[in-house]
Structure 1
Amino acid sequence: MLPWMVICALLCVYHAGAACPAGCECSEAALTVKCVSKDLQHIPSGIPGYTRNLFITGNQINRIGTESFKGLVNVTTLSLSNNRISQIESNTFADLRSLRSLDLSGNQLAIIHPEAFSAPSRTLRDLNLSRSLYNHTAVKDLAASLRLSALSSLQGLDLSGNGLIYLPDYIFSHLGSLRRLQLANNSLVALHNGTFASLERLEELDLTLNAFRTFREEALREFDRLPWARLHLGLNPYTCTCGIEPFAAWLNESRARVADAERLVCAFPAAMRNTSILGVSDVPLGCHRAGQGPDLALQTSYVFLGIVLGFVGLMFLFVLYLNRKGIKKRIYDMRDACREVWEGYHYRYEIDSDPRLSHVSSSADV
């Protein structure tokens, strides 16, 4: 009996080992498969069906498509970080009916097809795309994919470290359940109307380490549309000139919502460096306030308009000067024509008013 048990155990070990793809480590007990830094060119086939946690990282995989994850209906956590993936096809993750967390960080995504992140059961909760977008064209592809992939249950989205300089309008409008949005370490300079449309449930927004010099009234209205969001706004190159005043006033009123409000400081100009933005309203910036003097921009507009009108007047006089002889001739011609017409009317009047010539006029009419 004992030899048969040993043989069965060996067979089980053999089959378990055979079920694990080459270059991967499989643990049925932990329901985990790891294929880490094995220079894989594609997603390995034969991944066990029991797998819930799948880590394929640090390889040389260029693209992933609908055939990449066939039959892996139990996978809940999928990490594909640092694989140099440049293309994701539509419905790539369609077979991952239990997928909750997807990590694509550290890749080189240049082509993201529509519905790239769609899954039939809409179970995806966390999507990590940090340091993964190859160029600005990928941002437009991503915006389209976020709209078409039916990610209505997504709660966490990480887009940090992608060098983003803008966000397409309404890029997050179809992510109504989103609670955490990471936009740190990019190059964003402004937020526009509709940037955070439909994100009423957002609880955390990270905008640290970007290129914001201030937040204008349009951006402040966007923040006010996120009533439950904890904001992180530090480590931006804030420029404390007249344009910073609306933001400083808003920050003083909303400091409870800004996690790092006490650490927000001016970077420019040099005289204001490291000055707390909360205290900017107490520092004279030399700005014209309403009711305290004329608006500088309006004054500049009037001056510019006066210069333009003066230039047009000078050009008109110059043209008149160049054509003075022709203009003088035309005036004389008009004077002579008027004189001839006047003399004709005067002659006719004298004939009509002389009784001695009335019979001549009547004969002529007959």
Structure 2
Amino acid sequence: MIRALLRVALGAVLLRPAAAAAGCPLRCECSEAALTVKCVSKDLQGVPTGIPGYTRNLFITGNQIGRVGPESFRGLENVTTLALSNNRITEIQSQTFSSLRSLRSLDLSSNQLVLVHPEAFSVPSRTLRELNLSRSLYNHSSVSDLATSLRWSTLAGLQGLDLSGNGLVYLPDRIFSHLSSLRRLQLANNSLVAIHKGTFSGLDLLEELDLTVNSFKTLTAGALQELDGLPRARLQMSLNPYTCACGIEPLVSWLNASRARVADSERLVCVFPAGLRNTSLLGVADLPLGCHQAEEGADLALQTSYVFLGLVLGFVGLMFLFVLYLNRKGIKKRVYDMRDACREVWEGYHYRYEIDSDPRLSQVSTTADM
């Protein structure tokens, strides 16, 4: 009974509100035993000051913090887990997390990032392992700033990156090239339509890649080659609007050959056309899509067009020759008339030249004119 009372009393002390806890920020809850500070849904306008130096787990979520900068986390060298989700953060300044020398996990999900400065994710000692940016980018232009910050960052030790739910239409070239230790990449629930060469450059150690719930209708041979450049990665590719027409053939062949790497291969189905809806992509290779027949028909139509054009040109040539034959006398007379006219013009020029070149004839000509 005494032990139970002691446990209750100890719990009350550990979880006492900020007003009763020495050295705890106003409207926050601090637990020195758990090395944790929580400032959850307190309508804070900025990161509170006076956070205890012993803090390792810092949760500041559900507030109204517009921006964070290098002054926000000074003196918190022991923080290993930092959660800043759902704070309406619009700007992350350069060197914001530079004082967090022990930081291993950073959660910035569900914010409204508009400005991400180039050195926003410069973390000393390259300690950061997990970075959550899901549902955090305000618009499509933010991804360019993010790409720059990832290239300039000190995230060579990062192992997990979550970019899901950001409405991404494209990924800048070599956006992940400096994340050489990345093991897990979440790109689900975006609007990606294609994978370009160099998209996943530098991710030689990647083990998990989630591409579910995007806008892929198919994947080109170049995109499939890019995925083959991730030999260790376990892929997830379901819940995309795959269109089972002739262009789907490279993807279907690749999928059947790479079934062991695609964790949800059985759930990849056709969405269009309506007649093939919910048909497994694995079985599309056995369906008569009519691709080769269409190609053969196109070749035959092209050949027929060339033959028809040749016949028309030949007929026009024959008609031209026939017209020339019927008008041969008139044409001959016109040629002779043109010859005689040219001859007269030439003789006139020749006569004038002789007069101009002989001074005597020129004087006689002048006298005669008088």
Whole-angstrom CA distance in 2 between matches of 1:197 and 1:223: 10
Q: List aligned pairs for 1:1-366, cutoff 5 A.
A: 17-288=21-292, 338-340=342-344
Paired amino acid for 2:222: E
Alignment TM-score, normalising by the size of structure 2: 0.78
- Distance in 2 (CA, whole Å) between partners of 1:262 and 1:246 is 17
Which digits, 9 at most, give the CA deviation of each residue in 1:20-46, with x for residues without a partner? 000110000000000000000000000
Instruction: Count matched residues.
Output: 312
Letter matched to residue 271 of structure 2: A
- Seen in structure 2, the aligned counterparts of structure 1 residues 213 and 341 have a Cα distance that, compared at 3 Å, is same
Aligned amino acid, residue 248 of structure 1: V
TM-score between the two structures when normalised by the length of structure 1: 0.79
- Displacement after TM superposition at 1:340 (Å): 3.1
Rate the CA distance shift 1:296–1:223 in 2: closer, same or farther, 3 A. farther
Pick closer, same or farther for the CA change 1:127–1:268 going to 2, 3 Å: same
Distance 1:117 1:296 in 2: 59
* Counterpart in the other structure of 1:362: none
Unaligned runs of 5+ in 1: 1-8, 307-330, 348-366
**2-side partners of 1:333 and 1:88: how far apart?**
90
- 8 Å contact 1:288–1:294 — kept in the other structure? no
Q: Percent identity?
A: 75
Q: CA deviation at 1:224?
A: 0.4
Residues 14 and 168 from structure 1, CA distance in 2 versus in 1: closer, same or farther, beyond 3 angstroms?
A: closer
* 1:339, distance to aligned residue in structure 2 (A): 3.0
Q: In the TM superposition, what whole-angstrom CA distance separates every residue of 1:116-156 from its partner, at most 9, and x where no partner exists? A: 01112110011000000001111000000000012111110
Distance 2:54 2:282 in 1: 55
Rounded Cα–Cα distance in structure 2 between residues aligned with 1:159 and 1:297: 48
Query: Equivalents in 2 of 1:224, 1:245: separation in Å?
Result: 17
Distance 1:204 1:332, change over 3 A: farther
SS in 2 for 1:208: coil
Root mean square deviation of aligned Cα = 3.2
Equivalent position SS for 2:124: coil
What SS does the aligned partner of 1:255 have? coil
Separation in 1, partners of 2:171, 2:51: 38
SS in 2 for 1:34: strand
User: After superposition, what is the alpha-carbon deviation per residue over 1:41-66, rounded to whole angstroms, capped at 9, x for unaligned?
Assistant: 00000000000000000000000001
Code of the residue aligned with 2:280 in structure 1: it is S
Distance 1:298 1:292, change over 3 A: closer
* Contact kept? 1:64, 1:87, Cα under 8 Å: yes
Distance 2:74 2:250 in 1: 54
The code of the aligned residue for 1:262 comes to E
Residues 29, 244 of structure 1: alpha-carbon distance in 2 compared, 3 angstrom cutoff: same
Question: Following TM superposition, by how much is the alpha carbon of 1:295 offset from its aligned partner in structure 2, in angstroms?
Answer: 5.1
SS in 2 for 1:210: coil
Give the distance between the partners of 2:282 and 2:57, measured in 1 at CA: 46
Partner secondary structure for residue 226 of structure 2: helix
Distance 1:286 1:49 in 2: 69
Unaligned runs of 5+ in 2: 1-12, 311-334, 352-370
Asked if the contact 2:204/2:230 (under 8 Å) is kept, the reply is yes
CA contact (8 A) 1:288 1:295 kept: no
| Alpha-carbon distance, 1:218 to partner | 1.2
Distance 2:151 2:50 in 1: 33
Shift of 1:15: 11
CA deviation string 1:92-122 (max 9, x = no partner): 0000000000000000000000110111211
- What displacement does 1:290 show? 11
Secondary structure (helix, strand or coil) at the match of 2:271 reads coil
Amino acid across the alignment from 1:40: L
Aligned AA (1:32) = T
Q: Deviations over 1:145-202 (max 9, x none)?
A: 0000121111100000000011111111111111100000000000100000010100
